[in-house]
Amino acid sequence: MRQKELRIALVCYGGISLAVYMHGVTKELWRATRASRAFHCPEGPNPQGVEAVYLRLFEEIALTRDLRLRLLPDIISGASAGGINGVFLAQAIATWQSLEPLTAMWLER
């Protein structure tokens, strides 16, 4: 089976209204990345919710295309509030932490 890396570069813009939108983008990238890890390392946490849907997508690609796809966010950058989203995303990817505390902060402030 062939293997391929899908490398992502993400730029998160600044500004509070955009920060909430960009946070949604970072959460989806985080979920897809966690599903990719679960696809390649089944001994990790069991995907739930949307992550399980992304996992099924990776499995379907493997079955129908004979391709083991690995999602790798390579570059994450941002300005102002977008930089906060970028830092939290990078930390969450590196440590398997949640982005939910940041969600609460953006929605409450």
Helix (H, G, I), strand (E, B) or coil at 77: strand
User: What pLDDT, on the 0 to 100 scale, is given for residue 42?
Assistant: 82
Q: Is 14 exposed, middle or buried (0-12, 13-18, 19+ CB in 10 A)?
A: middle
Q: Give the distance from CA 64 to its chain's centroid.
A: 23
pTM: 0.90
Instruction: State mean pLDDT over 14-29.
Output: 88
pLDDT: which is higher, 106 or 86: 86
- Token reading at 47: 């995907």
Hey, which of 9-18, 35-44, 59-68 has the most confident mean pLDDT? Answer: 59-68
In the predicted structure, residue 88 carries a pLDDT above the cut 80: yes
Confidence band for 16, pLDDT divided at 50, 70 and 90: confident
User: What pLDDT, on the 0 to 100 scale, is given for residue 14?
Assistant: 82
Task: In whole angstroms, give the CA distance from residue 55 to residue 85.
Answer: 24
